[in-house]
Structure 1
Amino acid sequence: MACDSQLFTVFVVLGILQIQTFLVVGEPRVPCLFIFGDSLVDNGNNNNLETQAKANYKPYGVDFPGGVTGRFTNGRTIADMIGHLLGFSKFIPPHATATDDEISTGVNYGSGSAGIRDESGSHLGDRLYLARQIRNHKALITRLTNLQNNKALTDEHLKQCIYLSNIGSNDYINNFLIPELYPQSHSYTSDQFAALLIRQYTQHLTTLYNLGARKIAVFGLGQIGCALEVIARFGKDGGSCVDLINDSVNIFNGRLKPAIDKLNNDLAGSRFTFINVTSILAPQGGVQFPNIPCCQVRPDGQCIPDTNPCPNRGLSVYYDGFHPTEIANTVLATRSYTSLSNMDASPYDISHLVQVAN
């Protein structure tokens, strides 16, 4: 996420990037893709949950090939696009509806309002927080093993897959930044809270490794203090980013990269990589996009049902008060897959993560 000083500015290449995103040639580069995260990747898992955090209504999905699906954007998510770049001709299905015929090529466990911490987002209703997503993955592995009737084959299959983890924003937006609802979060300083999140996140990622994952791309957080709804709630000076919130996020990101390095050192055969969202969204000069939501938003920052979104969605970064448009997702997915700077990904981007040996 980014404010007007950090919006995507390479407008002249966006059309090229968008075309490249949807080129699928031959077989997928990996046998399967598993996706963990929050509303930035949710593709329908929240549709039947008792929660305010769902996007299974228009104007969400107005540009998605299948229409409204539960994605928190106008079209494709970053996970959808990375799937295409990996060569998958079909979208990875949500765990909630994945069939036996689909699960061998991967599943999306993402859930709107979910966090690293179990309680994050609980005031909005039910959600599949990260521990639940990993439990769902463990159950799916059993299901896949039973279908293949060969545990060794299943284990080898899983080691070749790509895993994406994009989560943590709700631990700030729907936890740390709401002390009246989550007072326990303010038992910590920003540094202590970031350390707590990293410790828990590391435990979850280690569990994922123990379940057979080896190639795992872990996304850092965007500049939450620049999200439109966060500016509306906490901003004081005419729509500028909230620096104190970004400072807290930067502490988390600064701890996440060395945590990823340590996992690679400690876990034999692991190939974790850190995707630096802040670097990817950094200003680069050129055309600035309007810093307003594309849809009309409710007080909670989500789109008002059945309203008309802005007509030029390719010129907007935010679709609602929190979530990026498809064009913004395109840039983030493309640079996650093929980095343009050595700051974008470490130790390698996703295209090289595919190639590295376990």
Structure 2
Amino acid sequence: MGKPSSIFLVIYSENLGVPYPPAFADPNTAGSRILGGVNYASAAAGILDESGQHYGQRYSLSQQVLNFETTLNQIRTLMSGGNLTEYLGKSVAVLVFGSNDYINNYLMPSIYSSSYYYNPPDFANLLLNHYTRQLLALYSLGLRKFLLAGIGPLGCIPNQRASAPPDRCVDYVNQILGTYNEGLKSLVDQLNTHPGAMFLYGNTYGAVGDILNNPSTYGFSVVDKGCCGIGRNQGQITCLPWVVPCSNRNTSVFWDAFHPTEGVNAILAQRAFNGPPRDCYPINVQQMTLIY
């Protein structure tokens, strides 16, 4: 669910013993194939319907919830009501939302007016209010176990660093994310008061910050530019067909101007899966899967 990096789904699939979830939009995603999970990710999609609209068609959070309902109707034809309730109760929904609402909305004042109408705390609360409604909709449909990933330090992605002094992140961008991340963690506590609910908060900001502050510990040496696109101006591009990637992506934190590499995503997924409360709150994903 959401715009998760595929490695999140891969790591969780491997650890939970289920196949890699097929994409919702794949015509072959039907029948028994959907019982191992479905990937509803959509590039540039956000919590708000308008986020990322300059890129064209995409599935926002609200549409992804509707897409899940479509899948759920298919599942109802494959199992009885009691089995469906048990199936949904044991399922894990991974939602990675919020980054695009900043990168492809709030931080683009030439295209979107949100930064003129909302100060950072108010915009964060706007996102959280929209997010809460959709999470409760998913809960009402029968899902009970959720991992909600926080937003990482966006001020440190190459797209933002391209406008900052050398070797510096954009502090303002990182600072405005605090209300959202803190609010999301508090929201987890609120949602966990619902009967049978188990919501987790993944501390993406802390985990990525640790990697950026101690790259050599994790085997990385390039933290300020993407593997696909090199140089100070590369902050404005993604991975284009004529751009030659770096020779060793394993040493880079970022794949392009916006996204972390597979190696970083694997670390984030593993820390959420079996890390301590500072990585995944209040318990980790592995512990959550043992709760019935």
Q: TM-score, normalised by structure 1?
A: 0.75
Report the CA distance between 1:206 and its aligned residue.
0.6
- The answer to whether structure 1 residue 254 and structure 2 residue 182 are counterparts is yes
For residue 120 of structure 1, what is the aligned residue in structure 2?
Answer: 51
**Where do residues 320-335 of structure 1 align in structure 2 (5 Å cutoff)?**
320-335=256-271
Which of 308, 316, 322 does residue 244 from structure 2 map onto?
Answer: 308
Amino acid at match of 2:154: I
Q: Shift in Å at residue 286 of structure 1?
A: 6.4
Runs of 4+ in 1 over 4 A off after TM superposition: 297-300
Could you tell me which of 17, 23, 47 is aligned with 1:87?
A: 17
- Give the number of the structure with larger relative contact order, counting CA–CA contacts within 8 Å between residues 6 or more apart: 1
2:222 to 276, 280, 290: 290
Distance 1:317 1:299 in 2: 14
Distance 1:273 1:78 in 2: 15
Q: Secondary structure at the match of 2:146?
A: strand
Greater CA drift, 299-308 or 138-147: 299-308
Who is 2:169 aligned against? 241
Query: Does the C-alpha gap of structure 1 residues 321 and 216 become closer, same or farther in structure 2, counting only changes over 3 Å?
Result: same
Deviations 1:221-277 (A, max 9, x none): 000111101221x42x22411111101112210111011100111x11100011111
Q: Which residue of 2 aligns with 1:161?
A: 91
* Partner Cα separation in structure 1 for residue 209 and residue 236 of structure 2: 27
Q: Secondary structure at the match of 2:50?
A: coil
Q: Which residue identity lines up with residue 267 of structure 2 in the other structure?
A: V
1:353 aligns with 2:264: no
Q: CA 1:184/1:325 → structure 2, altered by over 3 Å: closer, same or farther?
A: closer
CA distance in 2, matches of 1:261, 1:311: 44
SS for the counterpart of 2:68 is: helix
Count of residue pairs the alignment pairs up: 281
Q: What's the counterpart of residue 274 of structure 1?
A: 201
The Cα shift of 1:326 comes to 1.0
More helix by share: 2
Secondary structure of the residue aligned to 2:226 is coil
Secondary structure in structure 1 of the residue aligned to 2:147: strand
How far the C-alpha of 1:155 sits from its partner, in A, is 2.1
Q: Distance in 2 between matches of 1:211 and 1:323?
A: 31
Separation in structure 2 between the aligned mates of residue 282 and residue 177 of structure 1, nearest angstrom: 20
Measured in 2, the distance between the counterparts of 1:158 and 1:78 equals 20
Instruction: Tell me if 1:37 matches 2:37.
Output: no
Q: 1:180 is aligned with what amino acid?
A: S
Segments of structure 1 that go 5 or more residues without pairing to the other structure are: 1-35, 42-75
Deviation, 1:306, is: 4.7
1:278 alignment partner, SS class = helix
Q: Is the 8 A contact 2:235 2:257 kept in 1?
A: no
- Report the Cα distance in structure 2 between the residues aligned to 1:133 and 1:164, rounded to whole angstroms: 12
Deviation track 1:29-74 (CA, whole Å, cap 9, x = no partner) reads xxxxxxx112x43xxxxxxxxxxxxxxxxxxxxxxxxxxxxxxxxx
1:264 is aligned to 2:192: yes
Shift of the 151–329 alpha-carbon distance from structure 1 to 2, 3 Å rule, reads same
Moved more, 177-186 or 120-129: 177-186
Query: 1:312: Cα distance to partner?
Result: 1.2
Q: State the partner residue of 1:140.
A: 71
Letter in 2 for 1:243: D
| CA distance 1:83–1:177, change in 2 (3 Å) | same
**Residue 184 of structure 1: how far off its partner (Å):** 3.5
Identity %: 33
Check the 8 A contact 2:44/2:100 in 1, yes or no.
yes
Q: Distance in 2 between matches of 1:240 and 1:257?
A: 27
Deviation at 1:77, TM superposition (A): 1.9
